[in-house]
């Protein structure tokens, strides 16, 4: 009790000891920051080679898709003596196979730790399908091989995208997905003239060249060593197929890619006819004019993906789509140099939408479900590309009953462009909710 009133003794403080302790803490913190920065640089360098492999693989995988376009009539119509309807059906058959099989393909990709085995098998299978297309003795065997080729292609492309998403650093997925988007569009762009050059020497050589390129892509994928951590439990098939149902926010990027591919489907069909019927352009001139669209699309996807990491993806995707829709509506009113400028602007705005939409898919999904998520993204795009030519042709034929030919073209482009505008306006409140919640930038 006698100690209650006594003050506690003051602790002695050595100022020199405190000074040296603070200095040591600063040194330790500086070393930790330096080590962390060094690890970050090392990590980036370690991901560079796998990223280049994935980008190059996507380029090789996409080349055969459009290589057959320049010789489509000779490869199908002339060879098997079938009409224009069946030539168009040949194109759609691949998309039907891809659409039907994509959910299962995504689940298979995610069930495989590392995903490389599925990728190699799909690319080898794709190569064999092109061999079957070259050797098919009847039209119906040709269509069966085409159906299987669509399955193999969607599996390979979804696997490449899943691997690319794995390589995306946290918070910086825009640049990676933008680079992959650029390689995808570049493959589509280069495939058309490459197929034309091969077809001049040998029409059926296009199929054999496509088979060789797919096999090269399979061999190229063997260079990839990046694997998913072994501690990650592969999801079950039922879990994979329920991913999109459990995460309805994925419908936002899916809707954007559906509308964008639908619009591009109208470009490669109805706009090409407009260039022929109204602008009186020959095939070479039409190809050059379309390149004004596709080249900016390909080369600006990476810069826009990188920009989305800084300024945000939601606003960029919605703004790019809105402006693209407005430009699209003007197609029937421009000619000459103005049309070239319009095509270039369309390519720029498409890149501004495409790269962020891929990055949003990655942001909204977990690592173990990338295969399913990107398979769904590819399905939405394939459906849009398949419906686009049918919609454009249907609108054009219907409008020609009451309007002149040029007015029918103009209103077709106005209607399709309005879909882009509506997509941006309707989705904007939902994108704002995602941005406020912090799930996307």
Block residue for tokens 């706009």: 271
Task: Check residue 410 and give its pLDDT.
Answer: 94
Helix, strand, coil % in the chain, rounded to nearest 5: 85, 0, 15
Retrieve residue 307's tokens: 């920009």
Find the DSSP H helices in 73-204. Answer: 79-80, 84-111, 116-135, 139-167, 173-201
Task: Check residue 240 and give its pLDDT.
Answer: 53
Task: Check residue 191 and give its pLDDT.
Answer: 84
Q: What is the CA radius of gyration of the chain?
A: 26
Q: Say how far apart CA 63 and CA 214 lie, in whole Å.
A: 9
CATH class of 49-226+235-437: mainly alpha
Q: Say how far apart CA 427 and CA 253 lie, in whole Å.
A: 10
Q: Say how far apart CA 209 and CA 12 lie, in whole Å.
A: 84
Q: Say how far apart CA 302 and CA 307 lie, in whole Å.
A: 9
Burial environment of residue 381 by CB neighbours within 10 A (0 to 12, 13 to 18, 19 or more): buried
Q: What is the pLDDT along the chain (441 residues), one digit of tens a residue?
A: 444 444 434 445 454 454 445 444 443 444 344 434 333 433 454 567 788 888 899 999 999 988 887 777 788 888 999 876 787 778 778 888 888 887 788 778 877 655 788 899 999 999 999 999 999 999 999 999 999 999 999 999 988 988 888 877 665 667 788 888 888 888 888 887 888 888 888 888 999 999 999 999 999 989 877 555 444 455 555 665 577 677 888 899 999 999 998 998 888 778 878 888 888 887 677 778 888 888 898 889 889 988 888 888 888 999 999 999 999 999 999 988 899 999 999 999 999 998 888 888 888 887 777 777 888 888 888 888 888 888 888 898 899 999 998 999 999 999 999 999 999 999 999 999 988 888 777
CB 302 within 8 A of CB 176: no
Q: Say how far apart CA 219 and CA 343 lie, in whole Å.
A: 36
- DSSP for 49-66 reads HHHHHHHHHHHHHHHHHH
Q: Say how far apart CA 177 and CA 261 lie, in whole Å.
A: 17
CB 298 within 8 A of CB 180: no
Q: Say how far apart CA 334 and CA 342 lie, in whole Å.
A: 8
- Phi-psi category of residue 119: left, alpha or beta, with phi > 0 → left and psi -120 to 50 → alpha: alpha
Task: Check residue 140 and give its pLDDT.
Answer: 94
Q: Say how far apart CA 352 and CA 343 lie, in whole Å.
A: 14
Q: Say how far apart CA 374 and CA 370 lie, in whole Å.
A: 6
CB 256 within 8 A of CB 423: yes
Nearest one of 381, 387, 357, 375 to 122, comparing CA atoms: 375
Task: Check residue 169 and give its pLDDT.
Answer: 63
């Amino acid at each position: 009790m006698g100690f209650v009133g006594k003050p506690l003794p003051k602790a002695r403080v050595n100022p020199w000891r405190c000074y040296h302790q603070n200095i040591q803490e600063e040194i330790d913190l500086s070393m930790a920051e330096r080590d962390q920065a060094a690890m970050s640089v090392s990590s980036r360098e370690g991901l560079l080679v796998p990223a280049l492999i994935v980008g190059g693989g996507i380029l090789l995988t996409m080349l055969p898709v459009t290589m057959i376009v320049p010789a489509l009539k000779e490869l199908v119509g002339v060879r098997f003596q079938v009409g224009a309807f069946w030539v168009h059906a040949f194109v759609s058959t691949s998309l039907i196979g891809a659409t039907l099989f994509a959910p299962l393909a995504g689940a298979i990709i995610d069930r495989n730790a590392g995903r490389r085995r599925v990728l190699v098998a799909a690319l080898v299978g794709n190569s064999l399908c092109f061999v079957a297309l070259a050797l098919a003795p009847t039209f119906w065997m040709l269509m069966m091989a085409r159906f299987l080729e669509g399955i193999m292609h969607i599996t390979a492309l979804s696997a490449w995208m899943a691997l690319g998403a794995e390589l995306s650093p946290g918070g910086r997925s825009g640049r990676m997905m933008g680079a992959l988007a650029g390689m995808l569009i570049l493959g589509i762009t280069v495939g058309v003239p490459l197929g034309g050059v091969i077809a001049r020497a040998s029409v059926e050589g296009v199929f054999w060249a496509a088979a060789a390129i797919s096999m090269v892509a399979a061999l190229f994928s063997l260079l990839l060593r990046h694997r998913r951590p072994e501690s990650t439990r592969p999801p079950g098939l039922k879990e994979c197929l329920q991913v999109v149902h459990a995460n309805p926010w994925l419908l936002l990027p899916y809707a954007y890619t559906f509308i964008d591919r639908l619009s591009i489907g109208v470009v490669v069909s109805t706009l090409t006819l407009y260039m022929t019927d109204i602008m009186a352009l020959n095939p070479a001139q039409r190809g050059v004019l379309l390149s004004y669209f596709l080249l900016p699309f390909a080369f600006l996807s990476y810069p826009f993906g990188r920009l989305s990491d800084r300024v945000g993806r939601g606003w960029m995707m919605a703004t790019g789509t809105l402006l693209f829709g407005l430009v699209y509506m003007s197609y029937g009113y421009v000619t000459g140099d103005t049309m070239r400028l319009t095509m270039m602007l369309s390519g720029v705005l498409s890149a501004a939408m495409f790269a962020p939409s891929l990055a949003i898919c990655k942001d909204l999904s977990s690592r173990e479900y990338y295969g399913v998520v990107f398979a769904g993204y590819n399905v939405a795009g394939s459906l849009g590309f398949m419906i686009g030519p049918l919609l454009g042709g249907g609108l054009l034929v219907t409008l020609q009953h009451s309007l002149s030919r040029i007015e029918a073209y103009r209103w077709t482009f106005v209607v399709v462009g309005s879909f882009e505008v509506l997509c941006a306006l309707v989705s904007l409140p939902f994108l704002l909710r995602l941005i406020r919640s912090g799930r996307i930038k």
